[in-house]
């Protein structure tokens, strides 16, 4: 009897378990059945955000980032929950609109990441006025087939809607209380997801989220939808901060610079004092092209000459953000970093800046800038005045015709030819002068190859046949690639520069002149083109296999470090003197002001960089992303990982210290610009109140 009872209990328990299981299965099936449109909306938006990370950040960690998926779900279910407040027949329009909105976010960021290797910001809406000027570059060099993937989501939602409509899914009548109940249940699910997500966060995650410097990390950790929500608040923060955060920012600023003193004199102090200066802003010029040859033809013979005869800083980095050329001008002139949101040239053009031209005007220099483009592009008309230029020669000062244009405007050869006349006149009227000339032809999309002149980027080889005769064989190599077209474009720009220097020499304008050249930023070209450049297999017209002994690894670290730009200081009598050398210490654009200041005898206390001849091998270059590099390592803050650059030992303490230094520098720089902290009148006005 006892045994029968045990068996009976077991059967009863199994029945109860099966009933519970059936109830759960029924509940799940019932939920799916009654929420098909909502679930389709959620799944589509999650797939889009996951695919975005897949396209942009190529690592397993990003592909399988469940935390980012969890964060995306919080935003998506939150938006989707309120759809239940509508009647069933009206819900599709609600979900379709949000689906388009979320798909649009993914598409915009996909396009944006291709060009800037960063994610889009609401604060950049002010730059849409410039899209017309660079529209061809965007369409040809940035928009890709992958960016159209996100259109599929809304189409799928429409198909789901039509299928549900066919099955009379929307005919059901739901009273208002039931709709509220469904909304509450969905919001409850959102709350649970939110709590689960918050439990995964570390203090470092929260800190980076609030600072918003490292956008890749935030998207990887918080998802694109949370990033974009946070960016919205970050973008309006400057307006709020200007009303409430000034005192705190001003204190941090003064503490940062209170003990800073002018660097001691060194062997290069005032070596160029009183000399005229010509500065070349080299559009998209990159260091990796210097010394490069195709079929024994130099890509950049002029840059090769300048770098071999002058001071060549071969480990020099641009520090631009989304403002590209304008960011490089800002940092070159002021030793400040790009702003966290927006760009200084557009969003903060009403601030006070201490630029090199301002400092040289105090030493009785006449200062001017020349750029044969629209004066208001990147808001240069206003900003060049703020930086201290006496005169800005823009497009209206040049004869620009359809025949003499390349890409976005006047060709570099014609630009330099017409500029010589202006410089001659300036030289006659002023004892000392400083001029900036901004090149333009070597601008993306590098597509007007017929205007660049003949410069093959193929591979030619002479082979001997069995009968003893020779034949020249040509392999495509870099022909037809974006990088190959870039080399053709750069070869043209380099030739224009060479002609300019020769004409300056002939007119005697180099006798008392220092020639300075910097590349404004890298050319933003695809990594796989560099793979082809360094690992070309002529037998297959493809890339070498990774297990081939001649294969050269070119991973994301090499790609990021390969974006170096040239910085050269040259005079026509510098060759074979103590001033003719290559400096291999890492150097950033923000080191230019203190380095040139020491050489020309001007000083700006509020610089973030250092005189490279004072700091030497101890320098560190900070990037707007929070990454940094010194002579020992390149540290990627998104991955919290680094690439060793020397055999010197690296300690955790050193990494933490440099990362803290990086974050502090970026915060102070952003505060200086957003709060206008260099404006002494503003500071005095607040103190008087």
Domain boundaries, the chain: 20-244, 275-453+480-618
pLDDT attached to residue 173? 65
Q: Which residues of 153-192 are buried (b: 16+ CB within 10 A; e: fewer)?
A: bbeebeebbeebeeeebeeeeeeeeebeebbeebbebbee
Which of the pair, 60 or 578, is modelled with greater confidence? 578
User: Is the pLDDT higher at 462 or at 615?
Assistant: 615
Segment 263-292 shows an average pLDDT of 96
Neighbours of 436 (CB within 10 A): 24
Q: What is the mean pLDDT of residues 564-592?
A: 97
**What is the C-alpha to C-alpha distance for residues 512 and 533, in angstroms, rounded to an integer?**
41
Read off the pLDDT of residues 5-48 as tens digits, 9 standing for 90 and up.
554 455 445 544 544 444 445 557 777 777 889 999 999 999 99
Looking at residue 686, its pLDDT comes to 46
What kind of architecture, by CATH, is found in domain 275-453+480-618? 3-Layer(aba) Sandwich (3.40)
Confidence (pLDDT) at 128 = 54
Residues 317-370 have pLDDT tens digits of 999 998 899 999 999 999 999 998 778 998 899 999 999 999 999 999 999 999
Query: What are the angstrom distances between the C-alpha of 3 and each of 7, 13, 16, 306?
Result: 6, 15, 20, 99
- Burial string for 291-308 (b: 16+ CB within 10 Å, else e) reads ebebeeebbbebbbbbbe
**Predicted local confidence at residue 470, as pLDDT:** 85
Structure token digits, residue 322: 């989304």
The rounded Cα 658 to chain-centroid distance in angstroms is: 21
Residue 57's pLDDT is 73
**Separation CA 473–CA 539 (nearest Å):** 12
- Reported as a single tens digit per residue, the pLDDT across 275-289 is 999 999 999 999 999
Task: Return the pLDDT at 61.
Answer: 60
pLDDT digits (tens, 9 = 90+) for 176-188: 788 888 889 889 9
Q: What are the backbone angles phi and psi of residue 582, rounded to the nearest 5°?
A: -110, 125
414 — pLDDT class (breaks 50, 70, 90): very high
Average pLDDT for 659-679: 94
For residue 642, list its beta bridge partners: 635
Worst-scoring range by mean pLDDT, 421-425, 636-640, 678-682?
A: 678-682
Output the six-digit token pair for 159.
């198909």
Phi/psi zone of residue 392: left (φ > 0), alpha (ψ -120 to 50 degrees), beta? Answer: beta
Instruction: Kindly report the pTM of this predicted structure.
Output: 0.81
Q: What does the alpha-carbon distance between residue 643 and residue 666 come to, in Å, rounded to a whole number?
A: 22
Task: Output 541-546 pairs: Cβ under 8 A, ≥24 positions apart.
Answer: 541/475, 541/476
d(CA 188, CA 180) in angstroms, rounded, equals 12
Cβ proximity of 311 and 579 under 8 Å? yes
In degrees to the nearest 10, what's the CA dihedral of 259, 265, 267, 271? 110
Average pLDDT (96-109) is 93
User: What is the tens place of the pLDDT at every residue in 189-218?
Assistant: 999 999 998 888 888 788 777 766 677 778
Q: How far apart are CA 606 and CA 614, in angstroms?
A: 17
Mean pLDDT of 559-567: 95
Greater confidence (92 vs 217) lies with: 92
The one-character DSSP state at 260 is: -
Alpha helices, H only, 562-637: 592-600, 612-615
Q: Are 343 and 127 in contact (CB under 8 A)?
A: yes
Given a cut of 90, is residue 618 above it in pLDDT?
yes
Task: Report d(CA 622, CA 143) in Å as an integer.
Answer: 30
Q: Give the per-residue pLDDT at 210.
A: 72
Q: Are 71 and 177 in contact (CB under 8 A)?
A: no
Tokens of 181: 């109940």
Residue 125, both tokens: 């809406």
Q: Which of 229, 214, 197, 224 is nearest to 52 (CA)?
A: 224
* pLDDT tens-place string over residues 439-474: 999 998 898 999 999 999 999 998 888 787 888 999
pLDDT on residue 144: 75
Helix axes 482-506, 527-534, angle to 10 degrees: 80
pLDDT at 127: 57
The owner of tokens 């015709």 is 401
In the block, residue with structure tokens 């405007």: 409
Q: What angle do CA 27, 31, 32 make, to 5 degrees?
A: 120
Q: Is the peptide bond before 500 cis (omega within 30 degrees of 0)?
A: no
112-126, 514-528, 603-617, 646-660: segment of lowest average pLDDT? 112-126
Neighbours of 688 (CB within 10 A): 6
Grade residue 503 by pLDDT with cuts at 50, 70 and 90: very high
| % of the chain exceeding 70 in pLDDT | 88
Residue 243 has pLDDT above 90, yes or no: no
Q: Lowest mean pLDDT of 131-135, 418-422, 603-607, name the range.
A: 131-135
């Amino acid at each position: 009897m006892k045994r029968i009872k045990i068996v009976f209990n077991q059967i009863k328990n199994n029945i109860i378990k099966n009933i519970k299981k059936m109830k759960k299965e029924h509940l799940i099936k019932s939920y799916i059945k009654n929420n098909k449109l909502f679930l389709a909306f959620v799944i589509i938006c999650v797939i889009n955000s996951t695919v975005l990370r897949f396209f942009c950040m190529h690592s397993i960690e990003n592909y399988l980032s469940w935390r980012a998926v969890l964060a995306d779900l919080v935003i998506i279910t939150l938006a989707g929950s309120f759809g239940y407040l509508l009647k069933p027949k009206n819900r599709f329009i609600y979900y379709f609109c949000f689906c388009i909105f979320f798909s649009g976010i993914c598409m915009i960021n996909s396009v944006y990441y291709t060009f800037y290797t960063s994610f889009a910001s609401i604060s950049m809406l002010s730059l849409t006025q410039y899209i017309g000027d660079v529209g061809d570059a965007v369409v040809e060099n940035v928009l890709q087939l992958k960016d159209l993937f996100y259109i599929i989501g809304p189409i799928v939602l429409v198909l789901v809607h039509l299928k549900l409509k066919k099955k009379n899914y929307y005919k059901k009548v739901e009273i208002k209380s039931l709709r509220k109940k469904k909304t509450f249940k969905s919001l409850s699910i959102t709350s649970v997801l939110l709590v689960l997500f918050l439990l995964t966060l570390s203090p470092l995650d929260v800190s980076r989220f609030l600072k918003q410097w490292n956008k890749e990390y935030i998207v990887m950790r918080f998802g694109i939808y949370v990033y974009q929500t946070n960016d919205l608040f970050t973008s309006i923060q400057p307006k709020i901060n200007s009303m409430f955060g000034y005192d705190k920012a001003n204190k941090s600023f003064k503490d940062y610079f209170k003990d800073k003193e002018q660097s001691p004199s060194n062997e290069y102090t005032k070596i160029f004092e009183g000399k005229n200066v010509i500065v070349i802003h080299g559009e998209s010029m990159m260091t990796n092209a210097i010394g490069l040859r195709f079929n024994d033809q130099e890509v950049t013979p002029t840059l090769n000459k300048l770098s071999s005869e002058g001071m060549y800083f071969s480990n020099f980095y641009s520090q631009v953000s989304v403002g590209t050329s304008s960011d490089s001008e800002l940092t070159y002139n002021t030793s400040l970093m790009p702003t966290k949101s927006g760009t200084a040239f557009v969003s903060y053009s009403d601030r006070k800046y201490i630029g090199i031209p301002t400092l040289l005007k105090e030493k009785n220099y006449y200062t001017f800038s020349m750029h044969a483009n629209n004066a208001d592009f990147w808001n240069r008309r206003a900003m060049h005045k703020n930086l201290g230029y006496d005169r800005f020669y823009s497009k209206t000062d040049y004869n620009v015709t359809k025949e003499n244009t390349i890409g976005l405007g006047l060709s570099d050869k014609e630009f330099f030819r017409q500029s010589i006349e202006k410089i001659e006149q300036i030289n006659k009227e002023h004892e000392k002068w400083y001029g900036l000339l901004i090149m333009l032809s070597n601008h993306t999309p590098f597509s007007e190859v017929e205007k660049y002149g003949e410069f093959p980027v193929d591979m030619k080889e002479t082979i001997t046949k069995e009968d003893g005769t020779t034949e020249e064989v040509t392999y495509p190599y870099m022909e037809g690639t974006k990088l190959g077209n870039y080399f053709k474009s750069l070869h043209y720009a380099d030739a224009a520069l060479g002609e300019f220097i020769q004409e300056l020499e002939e007119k005697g304008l180099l006798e008392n002149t220092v020639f300075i050249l910097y590349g404004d930023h890298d050319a933003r070209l695809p990594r796989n083109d560099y793979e082809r450049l360094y690992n070309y297999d002529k037998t297959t017209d493809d890339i070498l296999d990774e297990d081939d002994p001649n294969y050269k690894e070119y991973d994301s670290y090499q790609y990021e470090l390969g974006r170096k730009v040239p910085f050269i200081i040259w005079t026509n009598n510098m060759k074979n003197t103590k001033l003719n050398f290559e400096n291999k210490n890492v150097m950033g654009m923000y080191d230019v002001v203190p380095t040139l200041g020491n050489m020309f005898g001007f000083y700006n206390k509020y610089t973030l960089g250092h005189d490279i001849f004072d700091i030497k091998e101890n320098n560190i270059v900070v990037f707007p992303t929070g990454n940094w590099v010194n002579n020992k390592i390149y540290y990627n803050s998104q991955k919290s990982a680094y690439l060793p650059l020397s055999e010197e030992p690296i300690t955790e303490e050193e990494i933490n210290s440099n990362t803290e230094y990086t974050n502090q520098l970026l915060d102070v720089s952003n505060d200086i610009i957003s709060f206008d902290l260099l404006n002494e009148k503003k500071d005095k006005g607040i103190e008087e109140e």
